[in-house]
Amino acid sequence: MAKKGDAVALKLCVDRLLPIRAARDRAVELVLPAAQSAADLVAATAVVIERAASGDITLSEAKEFMALLEVQRRSIETADLCVRIEALEASGSLAAAPVDVAARVRRVLADRDGRERVLVDRDGHVKGGDV
């Protein structure tokens, strides 16, 4: 039908071949500083806010960038916490921690690794599970 000149059929074909980008999906170029730590994200956030305030990007685009920066912050924070916990375990400091704190950390680690939960009694003895 499109080949015969039907405008509606032609529009449907073109829309499927070349989808229209939504206004919020336009390409936006921002030069953000490298972020190796959560503290580094402050400068990146300032750039996004400055560009939105000057009208270079829309508020919805700024919101999308901020959401990406938040995901990056959580990733950095999670990696940092994993390193800290592993360092505590390696130093043996985790064993010296109060029993309830040590048990909670072991449960979180066990859940993260998909292993069985560890049950620790008040004296610090493991009741069952995988440590």
Per-residue pLDDT of 66-75, as tens digits, reads 999 999 999 8
pLDDT of residue 82: 85
Per-residue pLDDT of 60-116, as tens digits, reads 889 989 999 999 999 888 888 888 888 877 777 665 556 566 666 666 666 555 554
Instruction: Please give the angle made by the CA atoms of 90, 77 and 25, to the nearest 5 degrees.
Output: 150
Q: Is there a contact between 115 and 130 (Cβ–Cβ < 8 Å)?
A: yes
Structure tokens at 93: 């400091």
pLDDT of residue 97: 57
Smallest CA-to-CA distance from 124 within 108, 107, 101 is with 101
**pTM, two decimal places:** 0.53
pLDDT of residue 114: 53
* pLDDT interval class at 129 (50, 70, 90): very low
Exposed (0-12), middle (13-18) or buried (19+): which is 13, by Cβ within 10 Å?
A: middle
Amino acid at 39: A
Distance CA 112, CA 127 (A): 20
> At which residue do the structure tokens 């580094």 appear?
40
pLDDT of residue 130: 44
3-state secondary structure 26-43: CCCCCCCCCCCCHHHHHH
Per-residue pLDDT of 8-55, as tens digits, reads 998 888 877 776 655 456 778 888 888 888 888 999 999 999 999 999
